[in-house]
Amino acid sequence: MKIEVLTLFPNMFSAVMSESMMWKARDRGLLDFSACDIRDHSGDKHRKVDDSPYGGGGGMILKADVLLRAIDALEPAADTPVILMSPQGRTLTHAVALALSRRVRLILVCGHYEGVDERVRDLAITDEISIGDYVLTGGELAAMVLIDAVVRLIPGVLGAEGAEQRDSYADGLLEGPHYTRPPEVRGLTAPEVLTSGHHAEVEHWRRRQSLRRTWQRRPDLLEKADLSADDREYLAGLAAGEAD
């Protein structure tokens, strides 16, 4: 997969894109990443990329001509997604990341200031994605979140441990509690079932912990989850106020 980011702050991507998973993906030839500086397309001796909004009011707007030149320079194919990272976009979810991970090329555009001139949307943006409802200073951190979520799903990026993780998250539930050595920490012991050596009992306990935690903290996730008859029976028990 080729990912090209258009940004005013290309250096923000250096640390994230050289960390272990990204490095492996790039080293294995599965990811070709570049951060392109929008300012290189200003066409202005002062390298100006923003201007005040028509109609007045505060703040600055990223200029359409500059951003459109930056996008054109990448020569997107007719079917290349040109994605604006934006609070107005559809929310990034695992399903969105999975769909994007099957593409061969993504162009991500990061906004700054009060936003981008609307004509960039009209002429060049094919998709808008948001990572959530809070105010950010720019689209860069959002782009990095999207890249992290997408790249780990590219086949071959994660090794055997990746397949396991994918399977455990694929059911759409939260994880239950995890424990590792030592068996006792400041008087708190790990649940006995985990050290019992009974694999089937461990799996059953984990499933129920996962269901319980999802029911407690994110009941909305249960609506889309893949649930067995046994899962539903356990959840009905929780809803009826049964202890376990």
Shortest approach of ligand 4FN to residue 133 CB, angstroms? 4
CA gyration radius for the chain?
A: 23
For residue 11, the minimal CB distance to ligand 4FN (Å) is 18
Is 37 tagged catalytic? no
Catalytic residue among 122, 133, 161, 167: 167
Shortest distance, position 145 Cβ to ligand 4FN, whole Å: 8
Among candidate residues 40, 51, 114, 148, the one labeled active-site is 114
User: Which residue's CB atom is positioned nearest to ligand 4FN?
Assistant: 142
Q: Is-catalytic flag, 232?
A: no
C-beta of 58 vs 197, nearer to ligand 4FN: 58
Assess contact for 86 and 129: CB atoms under 8 A. yes
φ/ψ of residue 23, rounded to 5: -65, -45
Cβ neighbours of residue 103 under 8 Å, at least 6 residues apart?
1, 81
Burial class (CB in 10 A: 0-12, 13-18, 19+), 101: middle
Residues 6 or more apart from 139 whose CB is under 8 A from it?
A: 7, 84, 85, 86, 108, 109, 110, 111, 112
**DSSP run (H or E) holding 109:** strand 105-110
Residues that bind ligand 4FN (CB under 6 A): 85-87, 111-112, 115, 130-136, 138-139, 142
Q: Supply φ then ψ for residue 237, to 5 degrees.
A: -65, -45
Q: Give the residue with the Cβ less far from ligand 4FN, 110 or 158.
A: 110
**Is 87 an annotated catalytic residue?**
yes
Selecting among 152, 206, 207, 213, the annotated active-site residue is: 152
Q: Which is nearer to ligand 4FN, 10 or 111 (CB)?
A: 111
- Rounded to a whole number of angstroms, the minimum distance from the CB of residue 20 to ligand 4FN is 25
Minimum separation from the CB atom of position 137 to ligand 4FN (A): 6
Q: Tokens 């001796």 — which residue?
A: 45
Q: Which residue number, 63 or 212, has a Cβ lying nearer to ligand 4FN?
A: 63
H helix intervals, the chain: 14-18, 20-27, 64-73, 94-101, 118-124, 140-151, 160-170, 199-217, 219-224, 229-239
Percent helix, strand, coil in the chain (nearest 5)? 45, 15, 40
Active site residue 152: yes
Residue type, 36: C
DSSP category for residue 210:
H
Residue closer to ligand 4FN, measured from CB, 136 or 190: 136
Which are the catalytic amino acids? 87, 114, 152, 167
